[in-house]
Amino acid sequence: MRRTLLAAFAACCLLAVAAYADDMTPYPVGHLKPTDSTLKVKVGDTAPDFTLPEINGGTVSLSDYRGKKNVVLSFVPAAWTPVCSDQWPGYNLALDMIHALDAELIGISVDNTPTQAQWAEAMHGLNFPVLSDFWPHGKVADSFGVLRGDGMAERAVIIIDKAGIIRYVDVHDINSRPDLGVMIGELEKLAE
């Protein structure tokens, strides 16, 4: 009986999220453990550098932005899943606001580049770098301490200033979307 109720609850959770492109059908993942990793960084630390492949070709390094722009790292768990497919299109819409605060948004998932590219296209395109942390699997996520035990990344927002210092960390409940307003508020603090 308990399993029946859990199944019913999971079904409700799956259907509670809408709002993605109507030409894509995200893969339902159900209700997951809210967080499942141990952070390895904290506010005030120097962010670990990385270089990862980007869906439009080439690579992007965090250090590319050192001394030039603040950076918002948006780790998401997996391509083609409901909340992730709902999160980045909103961030994409808000890019002007993010750029106006002297910041660049960088999206990272552990999926491989072809998967990310097709997913981004299904979301009607994304105008920020989307990086693949596929191989060595989740190495960058792990360096921040946001790699879950199941191999997915957490749903995390990490803001790094121009000096490369971590200024904000939100390892969010994987089942819900971080409020855009909170991210913008943190960037406004950097701009002050």
70 bridge partner residues: 103
Smaller CB distance to another protein: residue 5 or 149? 5
Does 180 bind another protein (CB under 8 A)? Our answer is yes
Catalytic entry in 52, 84, 103, 120: 84
Tell me how far apart the alpha carbons of residues 130 and 159 are, in angstroms, rounded to a whole number. 16
Does 191 bind another protein (CB under 8 A)? Our answer is no
Asked if the bond preceding 136 is cis, omega within 30° of 0, the reply is yes
Question: Do residues 109 and 147 make contact, with C-beta atoms less than 8 angstroms apart?
Answer: no
Q: Which of 19, 43, 100, 165 binds another protein (CB under 8 A)?
A: 19
Q: Is 84 a catalytic residue?
A: yes
Interface characters, 68-107, with another protein (x: CB under 8 A): ------------------xx-xx--xx--x----------
- Closest to 106 (Cα-Cα) out of 124, 125, 123, 126: 126
* Helices first, then strands: H and E counts in the chain: 6, 7
Residues that bind another protein (CB under 8 A): 1, 4-5, 7-9, 11-12, 14-22, 86-87, 89-90, 93-94, 97, 123-124, 177, 179-181, 184
